[in-house]
A and B are shown apart, each in its own frame.
Chain A
Amino acid sequence: EAGVAQSPRYKIIEKRQSVAFWCNPISGHATLYWYQQILGQGPKLLIQFQNNGVVDDSQLPKDRFSAERLKGVDSTLKIQPAKLEDSAVYLCASSLERAYRGPGNTIYFGEGSWLTVV
């Protein structure tokens, strides 16, 4: 079974430029998560989708970050304009079904997209 796919793996941009990250979750997984992980900290949830609807985006800086999940499968996270403090790893994850309380709801992570803003 293929895992969570993310691209690009690495990106260096100048501040005020824009960047987009792509995620393809595990096939059949209804829930998709985007996290931001700053060096030395735990991942912070930015947005959580259930199919193509947003479950939680309370920590998404909406003035510069946007995310969408077309047709309930792939997702794109965009940052525009980027700031120096956006330098982080952006992690995509998926799980079978958020409402299902059991081992089937285990969260699986992609390898992450490393962003450096200079």
Chain B
Amino acid sequence: GIQVEQSPPDLILQEGANSTLRCNFSDSVNNLQWFHQNPWGQLINLFYIPSGTKQNGRLSATTVATERYSLLYISSSQTTDSGVYFCAVDRGKSTFGDGTTLTVKP
């Protein structure tokens, strides 16, 4: 099946810093989503982005489907951005990466 690798596995930032999270996938995909899992375990959809670039406030994402990767950018990070960020792809079935755990310190 398709492999999804996320990097880095852990990231610690000071409030106000910027960060880039990466998702590599091993084959072409139909769909790609980024999620944020908050400390209570709730998965919140951030972007549906099988290709191209999208922005939502301080967050933006870019997927280069031909090169099989996606990037999630977080600018001016806040403590509420802490949590685990997951990339999920769909090629016949839904597959998640193991996530990037982000800790934003005040």
Contact = CB atoms under 8 A, between A and B. Distances in A.
Contact residues of B: prevailing secondary structure: strand
A43 interface: yes
Nearest to A91: B43
Given A42-B99, A89-B41, A101-B50, A107 B88 contact: yes
Contacts of B40: 111
B94 A48 contact: yes
Contacts of A114: 41
14 contacts: A42-B4, A42-B86, A42-B96, A42-B99, A44-B96, A45-B95, A48-B93, A101-B30, A101-B50, A103-B48, A105-B48, A107-B45, A107-B88, A112-B42
Interface of B: 4, 30-31, 33, 35, 40-45, 48, 50, 86, 88, 90, 92-99
Interface of A: 33, 35, 41-45, 48, 55-56, 58, 89, 91, 93, 98, 101, 103, 105-109, 111-112, 114
